[in-house]
Amino acid sequence: MLLLAGCGTPQQAVPTGSIAVDLGRAVVAVADRQFGESCVAKPFGTRPAVVTSAADAQVIYAWTYCWTTVDGVRSTGLQPVVVTVASGTLQTTAEGDYARSIERLFPADVRTWAQDPPPLSGLVAEGDAEASAVPTPAPS
């Protein structure tokens, strides 16, 4: 099922199954390296718009939930990202200019997912479970 954005643009179907898992892994590999944090990801679109495997994706649009722990205190962040697979680069929205960044980074057929995502509670729970499984060093 496709959702319609406010302007009437059909939205890509959110990837599911093994393709979604593989796309998420690709996003996490780049996000972990670029952010220097641990992350989980929920992809919501690709370029080209239809892929039959994660290897077909040139660009991946996803929500990321990342965390880091410093002196026993965990900091987290949830944000939409754009990963360009060939270059291994990741782009995020600009602080203070969120709406304009969304328009600049996300094409019309995935923009609704970037602005108003499907429920992300599962993504946050997955990240929190992973973060809790890693022993936290005692504060120095």
1-40 tens-digit pLDDT: 344 444 578 999 999 999 999 999 999 999 999 888 999 9
Within a domain: residue 9?
Answer: no
**Cα gap 115→44, rounded to integer Å:** 11
Residue 96 lies inside a defined structural domain of this protein: yes
Number of compact structural domains in the chain: 1
Domain annotation covers residue 6: no
112, part of any domain: yes
pLDDT in tens, 33-85: 988 899 999 999 999 999 999 999 999 999 999 998 888 888 899 999 999 99
Q: Which domain holds residue 22?
A: 17-116
With H, G, I as helix, E, B as strand and everything else as coil, classify residue 87.
Answer: coil
Residue 57 lies in a domain: yes
Sequence-separated (6 or more) residues with CB below 8 Å from residue 81: 27, 31, 41, 61, 62, 63, 64, 90, 91, 92
Across 122-134, average pLDDT: 86
Residues 68-77: pLDDT tens digits?
888 888 889 9
12: in domain: no
Using the predicted structure, report yes or no on whether residue 92 has a pLDDT greater than 90: yes
> Within a domain: residue 68?
yes
**Other beta carbons less than 10 A from residue 27's beta carbon:** 27
In a domain, 133, yes or no: no
